Structure 1
Amino acid sequence: MSNMFCLTDAKFVTPEGVVEGTLTVRDGKIDDLAPKSPSGNFETIDCAGDYIIPGLIELHTDNLEGDFQPRPGVIWPSRMLALHSHDSSLISSGITTVLDSVSCGQFEESKLRHEMLTMSIAAIKESKQKGLLRADHLLHLRCEVCDPYVMDMFLPHVDEPNLKLVSLMDHTPGQRQFCNIDKYKEYYKLEKLSEEEFGRIKDELVFQQDKNADVYRQEIIRLCHARNIPLASHDDTTPEHVYQAKNEGLVLSEFPTTVEAAQQAKKHGLGIIMGAPNVVRNGSHSGNVSARELARQGLLNILSSDYVPVSLLHGAYLLHSEVGLDLHDAFATVTANPAKFLGLDDRGTIEAGRLADLARISIIGDTPMVRSVWRAGKNVF
């Protein structure tokens, strides 16, 4: 006997637009979208006119690290409960597929980051094996290419079956995200240092960049290409950054900081990821380009919640309500588009044969609220 139910009296956001009717789910997959309910003895859920959208797909969130390290220098003793807290935040935000983005390297924090990396991957493996997770958790490794310990952290995990994305980062002050040195000091809480003290830190970071960045970048790229792991650049600022990424076979440009970089990314076929918090706050916390402005110019493919899971749905809806994208195009930035760029062809759209990863959404005033979530046809929220 098949496991079947229907969602009726709903507005379904499909790749072509919004369709009203009834969706049938059978054995964890979308079976049919029709104007009326089929006859039969099975559960029918009245959605009272709410929207049904595909479950959100998150490519870059470091929210997990906040649960593992709730205070500076504090690693939470139970890795399973830390992961469970993270998973709950995702599901309640409508996110059914997540690439947990964990850092490989961060200079003086490398020892702590190394511990969190190992704990995170172990917790995800164990929890998946025991069926404890509601979202589908995959892995994204964020590689700080200047860090002297990046390869020590990356190599043990390069063959993880859940590794679906690797990004190449360089947070050296004075370039990319931190062209503005004052923003660098603010972000890393270094404002109280004297110019001499900060100068010594900056000189050391520039030295490590000169020594390590190109060597480690090329080795990581080689390892990923050999395993068909997609690669992303990070904080592209100049056309040269994008040319380099394209020539190296990267497929995504994460958080470009200027219009010029985003234009070049589009020209060369790289997917453009921007932060949903940037959309919600109507500006970058680092003083870089507005995600809304890129969307208006057709220079945005994917949103990422980055550090606030609830921002993903909200940001996508604001692309519709305040930027002017059609609703199905706005929601595609958090569903169909990330699935496409990662080759996750079993999810991301409401179409027959796709996984029944779905979220029921009510619009309260101008805010989208998650009412229910299904993962592979199972009600998980």
Structure 2
Amino acid sequence: MKTLAFSNFRMVLEDRMVHGALTLDENGKIIALEEDPHPRPGSEDGQGDWLLPGLVDVHTDNLERQVQPRSNVRWPSRSAFLAHDSQCAAAGITTVADALCVGDAGFESQRIQTLRDAVVDLTFLDEQGLLRSDHVLHLRCELPTPNMQQLFETAMAQAPVHMISIMDHTPGVGQHANLDKFREGRRGDGYSEAELDQMIEEAQQRREIHSEINRHYLLEKLRGRGLQIASHDDRTVEEIQRNATDGIRIAEFPVSMEAAQEARRLGMATVAGAPNVVRGGSHSGNVAVRDLVAAGLVDVLASDYVPHALLEAAFALTRMGLIKLPEAVQMVSLAPARMLGLEDRGALQIGMRGDLLRVRDFDNHPLLRAVWKAGERMA
């Protein structure tokens, strides 16, 4: 690959914005950043568009949505993975941690097959050079499940894992603390009241039997491994305190202001959902992420279930006047890259990999016009 030059861009750096030029070497690394508002012959003329680092996503469920586009439909796994990869690339996500469920909490049994297929597909497609974005795994370990340990061991042996979440989606706790809201959502899936009663009771029984055993297993298994461990859907101060005591340094998707405040007090990093920002609030009735951002309690945004929400959320927070654009962009690039242990990407900085986004502000909406990964055009 030859050197690439970009000029006449408004470049979003870590702490400021510069109208200037950027150059990549033949290996796709950034070798020059200059302040110069004029277009240069032979370069990509930005025409005043934004130039951002490629987005890094620490948590997306989007693959599951491609595998199961409807509740009673299962799509061929490899086809679904390629569609998911294309959607990530088209959303400007150059590095993505695919969040896969390890264990079935009792309501989505097909997620286990998605995990088994995905670890095989990721290895095969990556070896064939068919993926546009870089993919790693984020294992979402469901504590109240009897098969979690076996599934965890298999996934860890088969694919690159960069992050672990310890979670509990039992009705009546965490995200689903409001049982009336939980029932309302599940009625739409066709469950009767009697079926819901039985499923909730069985899920709560599994929690009593398996949660503490699986939590202890994971904490012991991961001790000294250097992998990032996150809690999930923390609601109370006590939950945060217990997690911090156990060495968990990330609070992922805290569902209350109090939990997020305690996480910050204890030095934990906080991940919040970008769709919550774009929609203006939580679909589950929990704390609004913009309120957490306004209080200075968010370090990283994740796409969760909508890949293009990452870019939109960064610009939305800026439009709201809650933070400046460089800080918002860090939440979707440099901060998540560091969280995943990736030191070579996430910022427009000399020596960094040339993952770049060309973005135009169109009617208060960030319009993604081009994506490069390590200097190669991918969208």
Shorter-chain TM band: over 0.9
With over 3 angstroms needed to count, the CA separation of the structure-2 counterparts of 1:193 and 1:44, relative to structure 1, is: closer
Counterpart Cα distance in 2 of 1:231 and 1:75? 30
Structure 2 match to 1:148: 146
Counterpart Cα distance in 2 of 1:233 and 1:135? 26
1:134-173 mapped onto 2 (5 Å cutoff): 134-160=132-158, 162-173=160-171
Structure 2 match to 1:99: 97
With over 3 angstroms needed to count, the CA separation of the structure-2 counterparts of 1:190 and 1:370, relative to structure 1, is: closer
Counterpart Cα distance in 1 of 2:190 and 2:62? 27
Provide the TM-score with structure 2 as the length reference: 0.95
Structure 1 match to 2:259: 261
Q: Does the 8 A contact of 2:275 with 2:303 survive in 1?
A: yes
Counterpart Cα distance in 2 of 1:149 and 1:162? 21
Is the partner of 1:159 in helix, strand or coil?
Answer: helix
Structure 2 match to 1:218: 216
Q: Does the 8 A contact of 1:292 with 1:323 survive in 2?
A: no
With over 3 angstroms needed to count, the CA separation of the structure-2 counterparts of 1:193 and 1:113, relative to structure 1, is: closer
Q: Deviations over 1:189-243 (max 9, x none)?
A: 3687665553332222111111100110111122222422111100000011111
Aligned mate of 1:175, from 170, 173, 195: 173
Once the two structures are overlaid, the 10-residue window that deviates more, 65-74 or 333-342, is 65-74
Counterpart Cα distance in 2 of 1:82 and 1:201? 29
Cα displacement (A) at 1:366: 0.8
1:107-126 mapped onto 2 (5 Å cutoff): 107-108=105-106, 111-126=109-124
- Unmatched 5+ stretches in structure 2: none
Q: Does the 8 A contact of 2:104 with 2:112 survive in 1?
A: no
One-letter code of the match for 2:35? P
RMSD of aligned alpha carbons: 2.1
Counterpart Cα distance in 2 of 1:372 and 1:339? 21
Is the partner of 2:347 in helix, strand or coil?
Answer: coil
Structure 2 match to 1:128: 126
Q: Does the 8 A contact of 2:59 with 2:303 survive in 1?
A: yes
Q: Does the 8 A contact of 1:6 with 1:37 survive in 2?
A: no
Cα displacement (A) at 1:36: 4.4
Q: Does residue 188 of structure 1 match 2:186?
A: yes
Q: Deviations over 1:356-377 (max 9, x none)?
A: 0111110101100110000011
Structure 1 match to 2:5: 6
Q: Does the 8 A contact of 1:296 with 1:323 survive in 2?
A: no
Cα displacement (A) at 1:380: 0.7
Is the partner of 2:223 in helix, strand or coil?
Answer: helix
Q: Does the 8 A contact of 1:58 with 1:95 survive in 2?
A: yes
Q: Does the 8 A contact of 1:141 with 1:163 survive in 2?
A: yes
Provide the TM-score with structure 1 as the length reference: 0.94
Counterpart Cα distance in 1 of 2:235 and 2:105? 22
Structure 2 match to 1:32: 32
Aligned mate of 1:280, from 278, 281, 284: 278
Counterpart Cα distance in 1 of 2:192 and 2:372? 53
Is the partner of 2:171 in helix, strand or coil?
Answer: coil
With over 3 angstroms needed to count, the CA separation of the structure-2 counterparts of 1:191 and 1:214, relative to structure 1, is: same
Structure 2 match to 1:19: 18
- Unmatched 5+ stretches in structure 1: none
Counterpart Cα distance in 2 of 1:223 and 1:110? 26
One-letter code of the match for 2:302? S
One-letter code of the match for 2:114? M
Q: Does residue 44 of structure 1 match 2:81?
A: no
With over 3 angstroms needed to count, the CA separation of the structure-2 counterparts of 1:37 and 1:178, relative to structure 1, is: closer
Counterpart Cα distance in 1 of 2:8 and 2:346? 21
Q: Percent identity?
A: 37
Counterpart Cα distance in 1 of 2:47 and 2:95? 26
Once the two structures are overlaid, the 10-residue window that deviates more, 46-55 or 337-346, is 337-346
Is the partner of 2:235 in helix, strand or coil?
Answer: coil
Structure 2 match to 1:325: 323
Counterpart Cα distance in 2 of 1:44 and 1:260? 50
Aligned length: 378
